[in-house]
A and B are shown apart, each in its own frame.
Chain A
Amino acid sequence: GENVEQHPSTLSVQEGDSAVIKCTYSDSASNYFPWYKQELGKRPQLIIDIRSNVGEKKDQRIAVTLNKTAKHFSLHITETQPEDSAVYFCAASPLRRGGADGLTFGKGTHLIIQP
């Protein structure tokens, strides 16, 4: 099955600086890579996702890059703000007909924005 590795486990950056979180996956059948933000005790919130036919996607301060050959993808947050502090999870999944495949998550990154 799929194995997703995520680094770092904790990331502390100064407010206004950029943050980068990296993930690798093992299953070449995976073609959908979402990123979730989770605050303590709450449900994960999708912040951005990318499919394998695209190398980069951007949404305001958030961007995701995908290197399918190397099987790694990264989350980039620019101009970080205190409200960006949370745990971020990457995930991978194949998108097959019928949508019956669940997500395999990385172990998470605790992002701390220092004022």
Chain B
Amino acid sequence: GAVVSQHPSRVICKSGTSVKIECRSLDFQATTMFWYRQFPKQSLMLMATSNEGSKATYEQGVEKDKFLINHASLTLSTLTVTSAHPEDSSFYICSARIGGGNTIYFGEGSWLTVV
């Protein structure tokens, strides 16, 4: 089946620095990718929809200047957490849908710890 790969799986960064997370579709082209955040013991919350070749669409309450999303190709979307703070520590997970198909495939997720 389709595979979505995410990197890094774990990252620790210092408060005030930026960190980039990559999401790749390995065997299909993804015109749309989705970024979710999941705090411990909570549900997945949609942060933004990443559109290849255009600006991302952010959900209400998500700061677009803090969570920069770039979808430069049909197989790669990146999420950059800028000026990270401890409260940004979370599990970030991307997903992709093939064209207009039903199934959404998830990446492995990235654990971000800001110290």
Whether B109 contacts A42 by the Cβ 8 Å rule is yes
Indicate if the CB atoms of A100 and B32 lie closer than 8 Å: yes
For the complex with contacts A44-B93, A46-B103, A46-B104, 16 further pairs of A-B residues with Cβ separation under 8 Å are: A1-B60, A41-B91, A42-B109, A44-B106, A49-B103, A98-B32, A99-B97, A99-B99, A99-B100, A102-B34, A102-B49, A102-B95, A103-B44, A104-B46, A105-B45, A108-B43
The answer to whether B102 and A32 touch across the interface, beta carbons within 8 angstroms, is: yes
Q: List 7 interface pairs A-B (beta carbons < 8 Å), by A numbering.
A: A34-B104, A89-B43, A99-B100, A99-B101, A102-B34, A103-B46, A105-B45
Contact across chains for A95 and B100 when beta carbons are under 8 A apart? yes
B91 CB to closest chain A CB, in angstroms? 8
B contact residues around A98 at 8 Å (CB): 31-32, 99-100
Docked pose: A18 CA to B45 CA in angstroms = 29
Specify which chain B residues have a CB less than 8 angstroms from the CB of A105 in the assembled complex. 43-45
- A81-110 vs B, CB cutoff 8 Å, 1 = contact: the mask equals 000000001000001011111111111100
A61 interface hit (Cβ, 8 Å): no
* A: interface residue count bin: 20 to 34
Distance to closest chain B CB from A41 (angstroms): 7
> Out of B43, B45, B99, B106, which one reaches A43, CB within 8 Å?
B106
0/1 string, A43-64, CB within 8 A of B gives 1: 1111001010000000000000
Residue in A closest to B35 when the chains form the complex, CB atoms: A102
* Chain B interface residue count, Cβ-Cβ cutoff 8 angstroms: 29
Chain A nearest CB: distance from B113 CB in Å?
13
B48 to chain A, nearest CB (A): 9
- By a CB distance below 8 angstroms, the chain B residues around A89 are 43-44
* A contact residues around B109 at 8 Å (CB): 41-43
CA distance A97 to B99 in the complex (A): 9
- Say whether B46 contacts A43, CB under 8 Å: no
Contact with A along B87-115 (1 / 0, CB 8 A): 00001010101111111101111010000
